[in-house]
Amino acid sequence: MIYPIFVYGNPVLRKVAEDITPDYPNLPELINNMFETMHNAEGVGLAAPQIGLPLRLFVIDLRALSEDKPEYKDCKKVLINAHITEAFGEEVKDEEGCLSFPGIRETVSRKNGIKISYLDENFQPKEETCEGYIARVIQHEYDHIEGSMFVDKISPIRRQLIKSKLTSILKGKTTAKYKIKTA
Ligand code: ZN
């Protein structure tokens, strides 16, 4: 099932998400639906707040990039109750988009590497060190479960320049190739 994606301005995107327990109702189905929703929107990551649930849950799928980056050929992950325990390395600038901001791409500076602990879809504890693009994707999704978003990280000048685009999202005047839900 494909969920509508909640866009900028919806208050759920500003909540600090809460941990989930293994008995959360229909969790496997929710996870499958999140993947389906993300693939339908051609995203590489989706966090539960983006479908209206303030839960510490996000999914990523980088397999589509494996032609250029073979190391991502099996990179499909579910991250539950994640915590970034360390961010390290250089600050790297790169362009990001977000399914909650249709039509907006901005340069965001992030640390090149992270250490993250989380539970996988079977609630097995994992600890990983990631660098490069995957570290960027995880930091982006992690921001969502912390109630923050990539536009918080762009310069005031850039924010001013995209103000009219942001306003049209707020007013529900934006369009996307996928179903969206405004405030
Ligand atoms: Zn996003």
Number of domains composing the chain: 1
Residue 69 tokens read as 């980056």
Q: Do 165 and 121 form a contact (C-beta atoms < 8 A)?
A: no
Q: What is the C-alpha separation between 33 and 146, in angstroms, rounded?
A: 22
Average pLDDT over residues 85-94: 98
CATH assignment at residue 22 = 3.90.45.10
Chain segment 117-151, per-residue pLDDT in tens: 999 999 999 999 999 999 999 999 999 999 999 99
Question: Which pLDDT belongs to residue 130?
Answer: 97
Going from the Cα of 34 to the center of ligand 1, the distance in angstroms, rounded, reads 13
pLDDT above 90: residue 80: yes
Q: Under 8 Å CB-to-CB from 145, ≥6 apart: which residues?
A: 16, 17, 47, 48, 49, 55, 56, 57, 58, 82
Domain that residue 119 falls in = 5-181
Give the residue numbers marked as catalytic.
Answer: 141
Going from the Cα of 170 to the center of ligand 1, the distance in angstroms, rounded, reads 16
Going from the Cα of 100 to the center of ligand 1, the distance in angstroms, rounded, reads 6
Going from the Cα of 137 to the center of ligand 1, the distance in angstroms, rounded, reads 9
Going from the Cα of 77 to the center of ligand 1, the distance in angstroms, rounded, reads 16
Q: What is the C-alpha separation between 179 and 26, in angstroms, rounded?
A: 22
Mean pLDDT value across the chain: 96
Work out the percent of the chain whose per-residue pLDDT is above 70: 100
pTM: 0.97
Q: Do 59 and 77 form a contact (C-beta atoms < 8 A)?
A: yes
What's the pLDDT band for 87 if we cut at 50, 70, 90? very high
Going from the Cα of 163 to the center of ligand 1, the distance in angstroms, rounded, reads 18
Buried/exposed 132-157: b ≥16 CB within 10 Å, e otherwise: ebbbbbbbbbbbbbbbebbbebbeee
Neighbours of 19 (CB within 10 A): 14
Chain segment 21-35, per-residue pLDDT in tens: 999 999 999 999 999
**Bridge partners of residue 119, in order along the sequence:** 80, 125
Average pLDDT over residues 37-42: 98
Q: What is the C-alpha separation between 7 and 179, in angstroms, rounded?
A: 10
Question: Which pLDDT belongs to residue 115?
Answer: 98
pLDDT above 90: residue 57: yes
Q: What are phi and psi of 118, to 5 degrees?
A: -165, 175
